[in-house]
């Protein structure tokens, strides 16, 4: 029953993110770590998320796939590293949300001072250096960066987001991406930033 519930959540949120255009058949993956069993459940490679079924969800024990009818994503390493670094979290999203990924393509972190939503969710979003996909190279530096942030950008690639569960991780990605979408419109009109006292007040409220 526990495994069925986890797989159902993976499928449910995969479809939500697909509908929002945050994942597709080639990019993006979701995972949940069951810390009691040590098993990680992750979306398979090359599968359109809208058509994902529970039996296709890959089950990992360390680096070995022990369940699922389709091969695990090659980027399971990102999930493994992030979850090891954040014992308070059980879920990871690796997505290529367009506005955030644009910053990753420019190898730039994000620090908005104009958005209350962004300031409540983040102090900033760092970008770690480029690492080649498909191995541990892509995750180099992620373990340190993710300890103080819920989202970390991967240069020239995408982003990783951690949460206590998939709902929290998805909500953070959706809200942050929307804040950046609005910022891209607002910056052509002349953005009005919050002052230091206002930002500090938001941070206190967040705590």
Annotated active-site residue 84? The verdict is no
Instruction: Compute the distance between CA of residue 201 and CA of residue 109 in angstroms, rounded to an integer.
Output: 23
CB-based contact 20:95 (threshold 8 Å): no
Can you read off the two tokens belonging to residue 184?
């891209």
State the sign of the Cα–Cα–Cα–Cα dihedral 4, 11, 110, 177. negative
Q: Which of 75, 84, 167, 200 is catalytic?
A: 75
Closest CA to 162 of 60, 94, 108: 94
Task: For strands 29-34 and 127-128, give the pairing.
Answer: unpaired
Instruction: Compute the distance between CA of residue 130 and CA of residue 142 in angstroms, rounded to an integer.
Output: 11
CB-based contact 151:137 (threshold 8 Å): no
Distances from the Cα of 142 to the Cα of 138, 166, 181, angstroms: 8, 19, 25
Give me the active site residues, please.
75
């Amino acid at each position: 029953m526990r495994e069925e519930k986890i797989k159902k959540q993976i499928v449910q949120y995969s479809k939500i993110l697909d509908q929002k255009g945050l994942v597709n058949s080639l990019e993006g993956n979701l995972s949940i770590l069951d810390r009691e069993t040590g098993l990680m459940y992750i979306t398979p490679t090359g599968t359109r998320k809208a058509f994902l079924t529970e039996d296709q969800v890959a089950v990992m024990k360390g680096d070995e796939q022990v369940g699922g009818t389709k091969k695990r994503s090659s980027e399971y390493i990102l999930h493994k590293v992030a979850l090891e670094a954040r014992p308070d979290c059980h879920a990871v999203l690796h997505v290529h949300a367009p506005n955030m990924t644009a910053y990753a393509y420019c190898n730039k972190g994000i620090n908005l001072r104009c958005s209350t939503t962004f300031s409540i969710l983040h102090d900033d979003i760092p970008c770690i250096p480029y690492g080649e996909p498909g191995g541990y190279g892509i995750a180099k530096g992620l373990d340190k960066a993710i300890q103080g942030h819920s989202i970390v950008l991967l240069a020239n690639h995408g982003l990783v987001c951690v949460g206590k569960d998939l709902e929290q991780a998805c909500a953070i990605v959706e809200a942050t991406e929307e804040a950046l979408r609005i910022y891209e419109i607002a910056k052509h009109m002349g953005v009005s930033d919050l002052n230091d006292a206002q930002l500090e007040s938001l941070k206190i409220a967040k705590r």
